[in-house]
Amino acid sequence: MVALSELKTWFARHRDKIREAYFQFLKIPSISADPVHRPDCLRCAKWLVDFFKKAEWHAEAIETETLPIVFAEDLTAGPDRPTVLIYGHYDVQPVDPLQLWKSPPFEPTEREGSIYARGAVDDKGQIFYAICALQCWKELGRPLPVNVKFCIEGEEEFNSTGLFQMLPRLKSKLKADELLIVDFDSYAPNVPAVSLGARGMFALELTLRGSNTDLHSGVHGGIAYNPNRALVELLAKLWDAQGRVQVPGFYDGVEEPSPEDLRAFESAHKKEYYTERFGIEAFGGEKGRSVHEANCFRPTLELNGIFGGYTGAGIKTVIPAASHAKITCRLVPGQDPVKIGDAVIEFIKSHVVKGMRLELVRHKGEPAFRGSLDSKLCRAVAAASEEATGNKCRYLLSGGSIPVVSQLAKATGAQVVGMGYGLLDDAIHAPNERFDMHRFEQGFLTVGRALSLL
């Protein structure tokens, strides 16, 4: 056991050293999406492995065909005790547009109590407080009540290719009873949250091609079927006036949220928030569904991009050769991404204008995941977060997706719990990403105390 006061004292004493190591971690530009930064990603993985080893963990970088996975374990609790697998990632998002950063993204800078750097919160800050919490236990010489494993991948911001590929071979290595995903948000400042799910995803790119070249819209207007018209007519059929997706089978297996779920899970934001914060007056989703239901319990189909023809200034009288759409579906438990993909494609094929050539690029889908309110880890993290913040923990379901989690849970056989101290204003994936040492400490305390409660 480690008491809250012990964790606090240790953190206060080691604060400067923790901050220094955290900054070293942040300084490595481990942008997974950019091949130029491959050496930085490798260096970042090595830095983490070295950090674990210095703290006397058994740690290694597991090679994949793309970027290594950092793995560390402490199995001293013994085979009779449960195992907790902690997941995070050491890669970060690209930094464009660079000119909007007030300080360089890989030179962590403190301003008005916030630490500004790419990865400050997502996910270097979050995974690092978890590592520090374990380090505290070790330095205090307390025997861990559970076996602990870390799986820190380097491609979460890209596509988790390496982890997906290696999962079948890592089954026994990653085997665990509980899976802690340290990559989520709080409910609000100083109001902690446990996240027990995220939506799955299916993605599709679509092109309608009418002619082999752009045509003059006067000379040929009225003859060629304009692919832009064919596209809007096709895509408009995807919803009815009530906002329900019209693809047959789309809602198959989707369960109505139970009264317990609706009570247990809270929505961080209301309609008013969207109007005030983002100026939104038009709400989508299905008629009769609350913001909370729409975002947490219902699947969506979104047009992330549409484009065809002239997009510059003014007017150009062209009938484009082709028109394009990028579509993603967010999936809830009960929906199979393969079946949904088949159904969406079938719908599109059956509604496209005759003679218009259809080209599709289908991306790999991933199902939603859902943890249980009754898992031991869920209860431990919730209670620990309340100790760490002094406020009641809330339960959330994320509208977003962490594609690898569902398969990771399946491969390891573990129950999933998400935690984190991010906030909507942290500007993750955007310029001037930030975190602060106060929330870093809250995360540290939450992980440290949760171990005592398992």
- CA angle (266, 271, 277) in 5-degree steps: 105
Name which position in 207, 295, 335, 446 contacts its own copies (CB under 8 A): 295
Residues 6+ apart with CB under 8 A from 67: 32, 38, 41, 42, 45, 91, 153, 154, 155, 162
Q: Name the one range near its own copies by CB under 8 A: 96-104, 187-195, 272-280, 410-418.
A: 272-280
Residues 6+ apart with CB under 8 A from 303: 235, 325, 326, 327
CB of 318 to its own copies, least distance (A): 5
- Residue closer to its own copies by CB (options 42, 353) is 353
The site for its own copies, by CB under 8 A, has a size of 80
CB of 54 to its own copies, least distance (A): 37
CB of 182 to its own copies, least distance (A): 18
- Residue closer to its own copies by CB (options 141, 313) is 313
CB of 115 to its own copies, least distance (A): 22
In the range 161-200, which residues lie near its own copies by CB under 8 A? 198-199
Instruction: Decide: helix, strand or coil at residue 57.
Output: coil
In the range 308-367, which residues lie near its own copies by CB under 8 A? 308-311, 314-320, 323-324, 326, 328, 330, 353-357, 363
In the range 401-420, which residues lie near its own copies by CB under 8 A? 401
In the range 236-265, which residues lie near its own copies by CB under 8 A? 236-239
Q: Taking CB under 8 A as the rule, does residue 220 contact its own copies?
A: yes
CB of 211 to its own copies, least distance (A): 4
Name which position in 64, 66, 135, 226 contacts its own copies (CB under 8 A): 226
- At 353, list the tokens: 């204008």
The Cα 279–Cα 341 span in angstroms is 33
Give the DSSP letter string of 153-205. ES-TTTT-HHHHHHHHHHHHHH--SEEEEE--B-SBTTB-EEEEEE-EEEEEE
- What are the phi and psi torsion angles at 344 (to 5°)? -65, -45
- Residue closer to its own copies by CB (options 23, 225) is 225
Q: Taking CB under 8 A as the rule, does residue 281 contact its own copies?
A: yes
Q: Using alpha carbons, select from 105, 47, 129, 6 the residue that is nearest to residue 436.
A: 129
- At 74, list the tokens: 């402490």
Q: Name the one range near its own copies by CB under 8 A: 55-63, 87-95, 112-120, 285-293.
A: 285-293
Per-residue interface string for the shown chain with its own copies, residues 79-108, x marking contact by CB under 8 A: ------------------------------
CA dihedral (129, 133, 135, 139) in degrees, to 10, reads: 140
Q: Taking CB under 8 A as the rule, does residue 23 contact its own copies?
A: no
Note the helical H segments in 237-279.
259-264, 271-278
